Amino acid sequence: MINLGTIGTNWITERMLEAATTIGAYRLQAVYSRHSATAAQFAHDHAGQRSYTNLTDFFNDEQVDTVYIASPNSLHFQQILQALRHHKNVIVEKPAVLSPYQLQMILDEQARQPDLQVLEAARNVHMPAFKAVEQQLATWDHVEGAEFNFSQYSSRYDQVLAGELPNVFNRKFGGGVLTDLGIYPIYDAVALFGVPQQQFYYPTWIKTGVDGKGTARLEYDGFTVILNFSKISFSNQASEIYGGRQLITIDNAGEFTQADYFTGKEQQQLSPAYRDNPMIPEMTDFAALLEQPNTRIAKERGNRERQLMKQVNQVLDRLAASAGISYPQ
């Protein structure tokens, strides 16, 4: 059993716990929230054993071996470091951190305690459809490009239009679509094709000064990958990977619930539509690492997870820089 402590009490933590319960490999030990009533209620609702309003007390809970972090992005760095220093594994919502320097400090801390895992919860690259696409791509001898799309209109944008300043569109809190939705297609591209040779981000600015919509261009050796994402408009577009007379389509770069393969007029389903809790696949993969951390395969997978996290961090940092965006640290 993996003994979880959670930071953050919003819907994503609930979905994660729902997935963890379904898998059966996790048990909720401790809940942290700044507010005592919120912490107690959340623990009660999810069969958590204890609740904390003091972060140090929370990290000192000896029953917790793995901390799940879904706090505001700007708090991740200190919380990840503290968790590791209290000898706990970390599962952190994406983006883990935005600064390459912060990420390296985390990786250094993990390297000092190599039996610990630091895992970024990029659920899309753990989906069955993602793995089916990886397998299909492994049979291709050339790629002509790809386009990954993930757009969802945010009801908070109505507030912006009404003159308000919600956090998700506030520069001071690192708001903007690149880190919020863009991180999904970036994960897709980097997991499938690696770090690009060059990367550029073309944002559509909204009046609060953040990027509400954007297109990223990732230049690889011989092909280009285009990423489109938006919180100020929605889209029905699928995502596609081009291979001459071959084509892979994915329903949605953020969800990755279904993948299909086309060649000429023929169609083949690579992975049927996934209809379950979309955090089950990642939490299943993570459980395998966390339950048997000292096997060779767990060590290799842990390395791959950290390498991918670092590559994504680099691409995200460079995309932001290419558009003159700097996030508060």
> Which residue, 95 or 214, has its beta carbon nearer to a copy of itself?
214
Specify whether the backbone of 269 is left (phi greater than 0), alpha (psi in -120 to 50) or beta.
beta
Residue 12 CB, nearest approach to a copy of itself (Å): 23
Is residue 249 within 8 Å of 262, Cβ to Cβ?
yes
Q: Is 327 in the site for a copy of itself (CB under 8 A)?
A: no
Q: Is 272 in the site for a copy of itself (CB under 8 A)?
A: no
Is residue 233 within 8 Å of 214, Cβ to Cβ?
no
The residue range among 35-43, 151-159, 272-280, 316-324 that interacts with a copy of itself, by the rule CB under 8 A, is 151-159
1 vs 276: CA distance, rounded Å: 22
Q: Is 232 in the site for a copy of itself (CB under 8 A)?
A: yes
Which one of residues 82, 237, 284, 322 is an interface residue with a copy of itself (CB under 8 A)? 237
The residue range among 97-105, 222-230, 251-259, 303-311 that interacts with a copy of itself, by the rule CB under 8 A, is 222-230
Q: Is 166 in the site for a copy of itself (CB under 8 A)?
A: no
Q: Is 243 in the site for a copy of itself (CB under 8 A)?
A: yes
Show the DSSP H helices in 60-214 as ranges.
73-85, 100-112, 128-137, 156-161, 177, 183-193
Residue 185 CB, nearest approach to a copy of itself (Å): 14
Which one of residues 165, 240, 311, 323 is an interface residue with a copy of itself (CB under 8 A)? 240
36 vs 219: CA distance, rounded Å: 49
Q: How many amino acids of this chain bind a copy of itself (CB under 8 A)?
A: 34
Per DSSP (E only), the strands in the chain are 2-7, 26-32, 50-52, 66-69, 89-93, 118-121, 145-151, 198-205, 211-220, 223-230, 239-243, 246-250, 259-263, 266-271
Q: Is 202 in the site for a copy of itself (CB under 8 A)?
A: yes
- Which helix (H) or strand (E) element contains residue 277? none
Task: Write out the residues near a copy of itself by the rule CB under 8 A.
Answer: 144-145, 147, 151, 153, 157, 202, 204, 212-213, 215, 217, 219, 222-224, 226, 228, 230, 232-238, 240, 242-245, 247, 249, 262
